[in-house]
Structure 1
Amino acid sequence: MSDPLTAAARELVTQAVAIPSLSGQESELAEYLRDWMTARGFTAHIDEAGNAVGERGQGPLTVALLGHMDTVPGDIPVRVEGNVLHGRGSVDAKGSLCAFLAAVAALPAEALAAARFVVVGATEEEAPSSRGAHHIARRLTPDVVLIGEPSGWEGLTLGYKGRLVVRALAECGNFHTAGEGHSAGDDLAEAWFRVRGWAAQAGEPGSIYGSVQATVQALHSDSDGLTQRAEGTFGLRLPPAVPPAQAEADLRTLLADLSRVSLTFVGHESAVRYPKDNALTRALRVAIRAQGGSPVFKVKTGTSDMNVVAPHWPVPTLAYGPGDSALDHTPDEQLDLTEYDRAVAVLTSALTRLALGAAPLPS
């Protein structure tokens, strides 16, 4: 690792992972990234949503590189062992965001004369609000979009499932459990069984990308001695064939007879999938092969900020970044820094090629 650019890129991701940034608590990391960008020739600021935003270049082509700063909870001691960086957010998705920053910082002058590169470290991607992405989607009009999410350095992610979160609240008067009646917990359990049964038949059962996935995200119950309350949060991952509005309508109808259960739906994100052949995929495929890799197209069962910006930015888009997404949110989250180095090299080459017109945009 004698190359000073490689060393600087590794220092960036290590420091970023070392700064805690739970959803809604990203300000310290945003300030660090803003200052890092400013010191390297970016025009950088923190916007009204708390996003860290930096720009380089003045060309007519606008390339948006949207990553996210926030992480899920989980205290994983930050350390580098050999070429492996351990820590919460190393894979999901500070590694991808920092690869974007390092690549744009390394672009040659001719690329900066041909294109404008806008890197965004967004807030609250891990929360249903997706605050940062919603904010920037209405303030930027890019020609090309990269989403920072782990795909593996040879992977190109073309799509994500949609999302809907169901919050169910069951309430009833308190009673002795030796007597007749149904508790609030009984009603909540019935609601979940129906949701799970609906999910098993919706979409394309048996297809990983085409099916509906349903999980219980949280359960809670309490009583003040007079009233019982049981609350549940159910997460749904939706394929393109099941839009969030349809899922909500189906579930409201399905649970309508549970009079003691009230429903709230949040996180309405539609599934999205982009074509394989466009200027962006061509530039990245060439760059991956130049690094000795074999490009692989993917679709993901999770949801990302790609789902949020897709309705606003109908342009060539894909998600890219180093790391194994199977480690997202796990106690073993870790990033192979050799893979990170390769991702930075791929991005630097692909963005240069894109800017200089080696893979021209379709008219």
Structure 2
Amino acid sequence: MTDAARQDARALVTEAVRIPSLSGQEGEVAAFLVEWMNARGFTARVDEAGNAVGERGQGPFTVALLGHMDTVPGDLPVHVDERGVLHGRGSVDAKGPLCAFLAAVAALPAGALAAARFVVVGATEEEAPSSRGARHIRTALRPDAVLIGEPSAWEGLTLGYKGRLVARVRVRKDNFHTAGEGTSAADDLTEGWFRVRTWAAGAGSGGGVFDGVQATIQDLGARSDGVTQEAWATFGFRLPPAWSPEAAEAAVRGALADLAGLDLEFVGHETAVRHPKDNALTRAMRVAIRAHGGTPVFKVKTGTSDMNVVAGHWPVPTLAYGPGDSALDHTPEERLDLAEYDRAVAVLTDALTRLALGSAFPRSAAP
């Protein structure tokens, strides 16, 4: 990568981070990214879901690079410090990875562009339960290989994410004197939580945290008006591949079946996904990381991403990749080392070129 290209790539991510883009409010950053792409050889537009979509290349194979533009709340001052570290909300999760995709595709040589078509998508609402952008693009595109833009560190290759289920639990009952016998709504809710936690503890396969069910209380409260009392909670579950959201919902309902006055609502159904580690895409990425002085590291993560949303529709080689430390996601310390960002852009440019020129895709391109 030339010095001019490096500076252009750094300016891209810095400006993208400067533009606020909470979930559902991505219009300004989408317009900026589309303008940037159109000025650098892409055919770019904002699609019906608000995604920023840019294409380069005319080859018979399609590579999708799916990142997201939206961020969680947090008004963090945006600046590049004396060490070359970009501070600001979205620098890691996930404008850094998305901009690395854009910069890499912008730098591809003519041979790669003749061999493959590259579609970069800055998706909307990944940080919201709707996942609007990914749900739209998964039916509008049929790629032969997929990269998901999420922080993995520049040597990391993420093969999978756990699934998710959220249970909203509410207990209502008549008020009673606490000196008498009986249980309060909060007592019953607590009993329900103990049952659910016991199920979760025994539901794993013993293969480590990725293969277990993780259960947490995300919200908790209780109140009484002197006549009735009410307690409520939100239980969050991170699910391994062995547990579908539907099976987990049935297990939770069974654990709570005999608790009177209890209402249950389930949302956030996401199925876990884990992709194979040996295919054309992983080989190209591994070779590129080594060529730039790194040691490839395969990972699986306990969170979710748009990989969960598209996996069932795109049964092709898939990885999540991007610069940044995912431990900084959503924190007040979110920041991205721009030297690492540079390395990720170089790795992606190299890997995408190898992938295109290798012509080792799993199926012929869609008509």
TM-score by length of 1: 0.94
For residue 46 of structure 1, what is the aligned residue in structure 2?
Answer: 46
For residue 185 of structure 2, what is the aligned residue in structure 1?
Answer: 184
Q: Give the paired residue count.
A: 362
Alignment of 1:94-133 (within 5 A): 94-133=95-134
CA distance in 1, matches of 2:36, 2:222: 46
Superimposed CA distance per residue, residues 305-327 of structure 1 (whole angstroms, 9 cap, x where no aligned partner): 11111100000111100011111
Aligned AA for 1:70?
A: D
For residue 35 of structure 2, what is the aligned residue in structure 1?
Answer: 35
Deviation at 1:230, TM superposition (A): 2.8
Superimposed CA distance per residue, residues 258-284 of structure 1 (whole angstroms, 9 cap, x where no aligned partner): 222211111211111111111101111
3-state SS of paired residue (1:323): coil
Deviation at 1:87, TM superposition (A): 1.3
CA distance in 1, matches of 2:78, 2:218: 27
CA distance in 2, matches of 1:236, 1:361: 35
Is the 8 Å Cα contact of residues 151 and 320 (structure 1) preserved in structure 2?
yes
Is the 8 Å Cα contact of residues 205 and 212 (structure 1) preserved in structure 2?
no
CA distance in 2, matches of 1:250, 1:198: 8
Alignment of 1:51-90 (within 5 A): 51-81=51-81, 82-90=83-91
Could you say if the C-alpha distance between residues 226 and 150 of structure 1 is closer, same or farther in structure 2, counting changes exceeding 3 Å? same
Is the 8 Å Cα contact of residues 284 and 346 (structure 1) preserved in structure 2?
yes
Please provide the CA RMSD for this pair: 1.9
Aligned AA for 1:4?
A: A
For residue 5 of structure 1, what is the aligned residue in structure 2?
Answer: 5
Could you say if the C-alpha distance between residues 7 and 169 of structure 1 is closer, same or farther in structure 2, counting changes exceeding 3 Å? same
**Structure 1: runs of 5 or more not aligned:** none
Is the 8 Å Cα contact of residues 187 and 260 (structure 1) preserved in structure 2?
no
Could you say if the C-alpha distance between residues 177 and 35 of structure 1 is closer, same or farther in structure 2, counting changes exceeding 3 Å? farther
Q: Identify the range of structure 1 (25-34 vs 331-340) with the bigger mean alpha-carbon deviation.
A: 25-34
Deviation at 1:225, TM superposition (A): 5.5
Deviation at 1:330, TM superposition (A): 1.8
Is the 8 Å Cα contact of residues 144 and 316 (structure 1) preserved in structure 2?
yes
Q: Identify the range of structure 1 (57-66 vs 254-263) with the bigger mean alpha-carbon deviation.
A: 254-263
CA distance in 1, matches of 2:80, 2:185: 49
Deviation at 1:2, TM superposition (A): 7.5
**Structure 2: runs of 5 or more not aligned:** none
Deviation at 1:104, TM superposition (A): 0.9
CA distance in 1, matches of 2:261, 2:236: 21
Deviation at 1:222, TM superposition (A): 4.4
Superimposed CA distance per residue, residues 149-185 of structure 1 (whole angstroms, 9 cap, x where no aligned partner): 1111011111111111111122234455555543333
CA distance in 1, matches of 2:309, 2:245: 13
TM-score by length of 2: 0.93
Identity of paired residues, percent?
75
3-state SS of paired residue (2:299): strand
Superimposed CA distance per residue, residues 108-164 of structure 1 (whole angstroms, 9 cap, x where no aligned partner): 222212211111111121222222111111111000000011111011111111111
CA distance in 2, matches of 1:26, 1:175: 50
Aligned AA for 2:61?
A: L
Is the 8 Å Cα contact of residues 144 and 362 (structure 2) preserved in structure 1?
no
Could you say if the C-alpha distance between residues 264 and 315 of structure 1 is closer, same or farther in structure 2, counting changes exceeding 3 Å? same
